[in-house]
Amino acid sequence: MDYQKILDEIYDEIQPELKRGKVADYIPALAEVEKGQFAMSLTLEDGSVYSVGESKKRFSIQSISKVYTFVLALDIYSKKLYRRVGIEPSGNPFNSLVQLEYENGIPRNPFINAGAIAITDALISHYEDEYKTLEVIMNFIREISNNKELSFDQRVAHSEMEHGDRNLALARLMKSFGNFENDVQGTVMTYFKHCAITMNTEELSRSMLFLAFGGKDPISKREFIDRSKAKRINAVMLTCGHYDASGEFAFFVGLPAKSGVGGGIAAIVPGEMSIAVWSPALNKYGNSHAGTLALEKFTTKTGLSIF
């Protein structure tokens, strides 16, 4: 298939959509990103990369980082992780306290905020230190991406913390139910730091390639997680990767994927490729408006789908 031609077509077709939706504005560092931007990249098994748009421009990956921490925690804790975090779609907004209260402090899945904070807490318990944990997360991302330059944006992380009351409330509520082990402020700060990782679509797509190939990077041949766990992570991306629009995404796009409020989406086609798209304006569910449409166009044009 001529992937470059397909990406170019999508680029043209998506232009009228780039101004629709709204950039995340709950912190200044995200609010100031210009909305008309777009980038899309694919990475294939053999390492070949196809891109269109501003694919060298880094953005805040935000919730996409929850995939990496879930991979790390599932590798460490295996089945024990389910005692702390479920694997069901929530049917509620990503930062809701309601369900967390009804379900006694056990977050529904690792991709809603409470779940990702619990995962960060579990990692800190394992590595016994916030800074060590952050270093492990950063090193992991650098390894799966084969890119030593990746980092996070301190300004974004601190800005998140200044507006972090809702997430602190989630952490406190989990603590009140006994589902929290470390310092609340420090853990939430670590969570905000990994959410503040910046990547461009080429880097993001490269970083997810191992999940498209059963946990083993087809280029470096390194296995980062076993096949069975890789498939399960993909399953959670499909059922829970787009907050309360996960069903719609599965319906219209049909690929495991994870979005972030920075406007990025990472998707994988099992056995074929990984894909990253970025466009900062969000739809009402908090997912990239043009990014979602671009992925729908991509699966329609290529016929790629897991179904």
Q: Given the rule CB under 8 A, which residues bind a second copy?
A: 86-92, 96-99, 101-102, 108-109, 165-166, 168-170, 172-173, 175-176, 180, 228, 230-232, 234-236, 238-240, 244-248, 250-252, 254, 256, 270, 300, 305-307
Close Cβ partners of 139 (under 8 Å, ≥ 6 residues apart): none
Nearest approach, Cβ of residue 29 and a second copy (Å): 18
Q: Of the two residues 142 and 175, which places its CB atom closer to a second copy in the complex?
A: 175
Residue 3 and residue 8: Cα distance in Å, rounded?
9
Residue of 23, 51, 66, 279 marked active site: 66
CA 48 from chain centre, in angstroms, equals 22
Nearest approach, Cβ of residue 195 and a second copy (Å): 17
Nearest approach, Cβ of residue 247 and a second copy (Å): 4
Cβ atoms of 195 and 60 closer than 8 Å: yes
Residue of 52, 71, 253, 261 marked active site: 261
Nearest approach, Cβ of residue 272 and a second copy (Å): 12
Residue of 55, 191, 258, 297 marked active site: 191
| Dihedrals phi, psi of 283, to nearest 5 degrees | -85, 180
Q: Of the two residues 199 and 275, which places its CB atom closer to a second copy in the complex?
A: 275
Catalytic residue flag (residue 261): yes
Q: Of the two residues 124 and 173, which places its CB atom closer to a second copy in the complex?
A: 173
| Dihedrals phi, psi of 224, to nearest 5 degrees | -95, -25
Residue of 41, 55, 60, 63 marked active site: 63
Catalytic residue flag (residue 68): no
Q: Of the two residues 131 and 177, which places its CB atom closer to a second copy in the complex?
A: 177
Residue of 3, 50, 77, 243 marked active site: 243
Catalytic residue flag (residue 63): yes
Catalytic residue flag (residue 66): yes
Nearest approach, Cβ of residue 167 and a second copy (Å): 8
Nearest approach, Cβ of residue 66 and a second copy (Å): 15
Q: Of the two residues 10 and 233, which places its CB atom closer to a second copy in the complex?
A: 233
Residue 174 and residue 159: Cα distance in Å, rounded?
23
Q: Of the two residues 197 and 250, which places its CB atom closer to a second copy in the complex?
A: 250
Residue 88: Cβ within 10 Å count: 13
Active site (catalytic) residues: 63, 66, 191, 243, 261
